[in-house]
Amino acid sequence: MKNVVFNDMGREAEFKPDPIFKKYLKLTESDIKKEFKYKKQLKVSDCPACESRKNSKAFSKFGFQYVECQNCGTVYMSPHMEDSRIKEHFLNSQSIRFWRDTLSKATQDKRKEKIYNHRWQWINDTVEEYLSGDRNIADFNSKNMDYVIELLNNKYFNKKLIVNPYFNIEDVTDNDLKRKLSLASDPRNLFSNKNSINITTLFEVIDYTSDVDTLMKTTKNLLCKGGLCFITTISISGFDLQVLWENSRSIFPVDRINVLSQKGLELLFKRHGFEILEFSTPGVLDFDIVESEFKKHPDLPIPRFIRTVLARDDEQLKQDFQNFLQVNKLSSFARIVLRKK
């Protein structure tokens, strides 16, 4: 199984600049509390990764309970909301409008440079290694309109299918793109293209999906034999999430209702009959996230050893530390390539 490492450091502030991100969190909390006021409508669930029923309380976020699976260590919201209501939130809430109009625009260039370009490179390299012939891609349940537009403009792929987007096509202002997007999102294409799709992508989608099993089944059904599935997600096994735990600003509903452990991710993919070709954690932000949280909140319960490392304030040490996390699959940002058997 391949393990890839990146050697540039990132800054969390480049992707989530305070105070814009703070405002986004505040708006999200207020939306979620209104939208999911009736807690009786939420459903208790088994572990989305390994299906175990054994769990213990982990922490609560915005008044919603997260539990930790006692079998695989996955942290997930339970009870949780249904996928149709989660999609409704992404389509219509005030916080998401704020995200699109403000946060997404402020970080657009950095995202393009540090996230999307890496993604294309990753997909291209992997496809060249494992596939031949046409490159037909289906992107699933994306809430990221900017990314989908980049995909539609990408000439590397022959056919492009946008499955169940979690944003309003009407919000796309460019008419030519809107037309392309409508065509690529037409559900009839799902059937006419069956067995011709050899690439599927789930970029940070498991994170906000309540029925992960159906998501994996749908993805697998659409993919031809030998086809590749590209996944990114954050994992609770990673450094910043292990250290910050309930104080992490990356875990909150509904953006992150599942934070699977590494063991959980592997169990999930094997259970659905996929072969894992790559499992890397090429995250560049773990150390920076812990450092900036600690600077803002010196009272945070951070292990003594980590405090000692932070106190050295040594750039080379920080880079070496982040590199160590990547090499040993201990960063919280995971990227995975699966192959349908």
Q: Which of 71, 154, 164, 196 binds Zn ion (CB under 5 A)?
A: 71
Question: Can you tell me which residue has the tokens 């909150």?
Answer: 252
Burial zone of 215 (CB within 10 Å; 0-12 exposed, 13-18 middle, 19+ buried): buried
Choose between 222 and 241: whose C-beta lies nearer to Zn ion.
Answer: 241
Question: CB 217 → Zn ion: shortest distance, Å?
Answer: 18
Choose between 72 and 103: whose C-beta lies nearer to Zn ion.
Answer: 72
Q: What is the Cα 173 distance to its own chain's centre? A: 26
User: Restricting to residues 157-216, which ones interact with Zn ion according to CB under 5 A?
Assistant: none
> Does residue 138 interact with Zn ion by CB under 5 A?
no
Strands 75-77, 64-69: pairing is antiparallel
Question: CB 271 → Zn ion: shortest distance, Å?
Answer: 11
Q: Which of 47, 137, 222, 338 binds Zn ion (CB under 5 A)?
A: 47
Beta-sheet strand order (sheet of 55-61): 55-61, 64-69, 75-77, 258-259
Which of these ranges, 69-77, 130-138, 161-169, 224-232, lies near Zn ion under the rule CB under 5 A?
Answer: 69-77
Question: CB 212 → Zn ion: shortest distance, Å?
Answer: 11
What is the DSSP-derived secondary structure letter of residue 101? I
Q: Which of 32, 69, 148, 231 binds Zn ion (CB under 5 A)?
A: 69
Beta-sheet strand order (sheet of 136-140): 159-163, 136-140, 197-203, 223-234, 333-340, 274-280
Distance CA 3, CA 335 (A): 9
Q: Which of 28, 45, 74, 198 binds Zn ion (CB under 5 A)?
A: 74
Choose between 73 and 282: whose C-beta lies nearer to Zn ion.
Answer: 73
Binding site for Zn ion (CB under 5 A): 47, 49-50, 52, 69, 71-72, 74
